[in-house]
Amino acid sequence: MHCRPIRKKFKDTKKSCTADIGVGGCPGQNEVRELGQKLVSITGDLVQFEQGKMAEFIETFRSQLGKAIIFLVFLSLFTITLLYTAIIKPLKMVENAAIDIAAGTFSELPVDEKKGEIRSILRAFNRMVKELEEQQEQLFQAKKLSSIGTLASETAHQINNPLNNIATSCQLALSEADKDHNPMVVRMLETINQETERAGEIVRGLLEFSRAQTFSLQAYPLHKVVSRVQQLVSSEVPAGITLEVDIPQDIILRIDVQKTVEALLNLCINAIQAISEPPGRISIKADKDGSGNNAVITVSDTGAGIEKENLQKIFDPFFTTKNAENGTGLGLAVVYGIIKKQHGTTRVDSEKGKGTRFTITLPLSHEKEETEPLIES
């Protein structure tokens, strides 16, 4: 600013006046006075200017500080809302669902695909819920089968003796009957004999179902088991029904070979009977699951399917939707028992008119093991 030249001129003039004051006065006294007044005026302007700048800075700072506080408040509210919506609320849902599970209610949680942070947790929780529900169903089924097996064993023993007496008496009566003079009596006796034999088969099935069995487990290729099943069932497959098999040769299971053949054979016969009118297709497939610890075997058909209300009862002994000529209802219960005793699981999926799929999961054998008997009741 031009304040410095005036100040310098003022000092020089003052010095000159001081030197000449004894000689007769200061010739530039008026000039000094004028310069002093200018200096005072400029200093006042400068102070006023600086005060204005300071006031402007304070006002700007106050405005910016207010905006920053408002921004921080909104940011905090947004962050809290986001945390509640994205994390706290879903975790609260998980907590409530866990309480429901403890109370025996299994329900999956909705997964919002947009919430990537919590999505994996909800999916894992839903997988856990599904597995727990399946395990509870299997436990319930096992207890039910155990109770039915005990009852069946006692009932079978009580029924067996009267049946033997009826069969013996009927055969004696047939041998003594005169077929020419009493043909109606002979036909009735033959009917009694046939029905007694059928009742005897049911009793034998009951005893077999309830009896403790020895399982001889060994490492064995699944494709050889299925090949044996294919040979046994080939004569039972009607024209127009195709049997498709897709079993990898590297799947080795630790199983009782004979009983596993029996289980798969029962499922194949069940599939054949489900296709009442060819054409149709039966498929036996297998693969390893994602963990690499189990084999997943599926036996599916394009038959009539199963009513939804019957799916929960499908593994119950003596439950069947077939007529008396096609079975007693023990086949699927036997399948369930065989797979369970080999540390596996059995599941059924079906829709009326669209076919049925049985899914069996069995542990893989990762190394060759010696045959080892396993007795379970």
Q: Which residues pair with 348 in a beta bridge?
A: 358
> Do 194 and 223 sit in the same domain of this protein?
no
Are 349 and 269 found together in one domain?
yes
Residue 186 sits in the same domain as residue 150: yes
pLDDT at 210 > cutoff 90? no
pLDDT at position 115: 62
Instruction: Find the mean pLDDT for residues 321-344.
Output: 75
> Can you give the residue range of the structural domain that contains 344?
214-376
Over range 199-204, report the average pLDDT: 76
Residue 228 sits in the same domain as residue 322: yes
The mean pLDDT of the chain is 80
pLDDT, mean of residues 319-336? 68
**CB neighbourhood size of 255 (10 A):** 27
In a domain, 171, yes or no: yes
User: What six digits make up the tokens of 215?
Assistant: 């399982």
Domain boundary among 190, 211, 232: 211
271 has a pLDDT exceeding 60:
yes
Number of domains in the chain: 3
Same domain assignment for residues 201 and 303: no
Give the position of tokens 């007496």. 165
Q: How many percent of the chain have pLDDT more than 70?
A: 78
Q: Quick check: 242 pLDDT over 80?
A: yes
Same domain, 138 and 247: no
User: Which residue is associated with the tokens 């500080």?
Assistant: 65
- Give pLDDT, residue 376: 45
pLDDT bin (cut points 50, 70, 90) of residue 15 is low
For residue 226, the model assigns a pLDDT of 95
119: in domain: no
Q: How far apart are CA 282 and CA 210, in angstroms?
A: 30
**Mean of the pLDDT values across residues 163-187?**
82
Whole-number pLDDT of residue 139: 76
User: In CATH, what number is assigned to the domain containing residue 160?
Assistant: 1.10.287
| C-alpha–C-alpha distance, residues 316 and 333, integer Å | 6
Q: Would you state the pLDDT for residue 377?
A: 40
Greater confidence, 348 or 137? 348
Instruction: Please tell me whether residues 206 and 256 are part of one structural domain.
Output: no
> Are 364 and 246 part of one and the same domain?
yes
Nearest CA-CA partner of 285 in 203, 360, 175: 360
Show the tokens assigned to 16: 């000159």
In this predicted structure, what is the pLDDT of residue 224? 94
Predicted confidence band at 370 (pLDDT cuts at 50, 70, 90)?
Answer: very low
CATH number, position 320:
3.30.565.10
Longest dimension (CA), the chain: 184
Q: Is residue 118 part of a domain?
A: no
Do 228 and 298 lie in a common domain?
A: yes
195 CA to centre of own chain: 47
In a domain, 110, yes or no: no
- Kindly tell me the burial class for residue 333, based on how many C-beta atoms sit within 10 Å of its own C-beta (0-12, 13-18, 19 or more): buried
Q: State both tokens at 202.
A: 């049911």
Instruction: State the pTM of this model.
Output: 0.52
Residue 309 lies in a domain: yes
Highest mean pLDDT among 30-39, 148-157, 289-298, 365-374: 289-298
Residue 199 domain-assigned? yes
Per mean pLDDT, which range of 105-119, 243-257, 297-311 is the poorest?
Answer: 105-119
Secondary structure class of 288 (helix, strand, coil): strand
In a domain, 116, yes or no: no
| For residue 325, pLDDT beyond 60 | no
| 38, 74 Cβ separation under 8 angstroms | no
Type of residue at 323? N
Please give the average per-residue pLDDT across 275-296, as a whole number. 91
**Residue 301: which of 327, 280, 321 has the closest Cα?**
280
Token representation of residue 280: 């149709």
For residues 282 and 253, state if they share a domain.
Answer: yes
Q: Is residue 53 in a domain?
A: yes
Higher pLDDT among residues 5 and 184, named by residue:
184
Same domain, 306 and 234: yes
* Residues 29, 17 contacting (CB under 8 angstroms): yes
Q: Give per-residue pLDDT as tens, 110-142.
A: 776 666 667 777 788 888 888 887 777 777 766
More confident residue, 169 or 15: 169
173 in the same domain as 89: no
What single-letter amino acid sits at 202? I
Give the pLDDT band (50/70/90) at residue 252. Answer: very high
- d(C-alpha 223, C-alpha 226), whole Å: 5
Alpha helices in 180-253 (DSSP H): 183-210, 222-233
- 232 closest CA partner among 201, 269, 205: 269
pLDDT given for residue 13 in this prediction: 59
* Residue that terminates a domain, selected from 160, 192, 211: 211
**Final residue of a domain: which of 211, 234, 267?**
211
Q: How far is CA 74 from CA 61, 79, 80, 88, in A?
A: 20, 8, 10, 19
**pLDDT given for residue 246 in this prediction:** 95
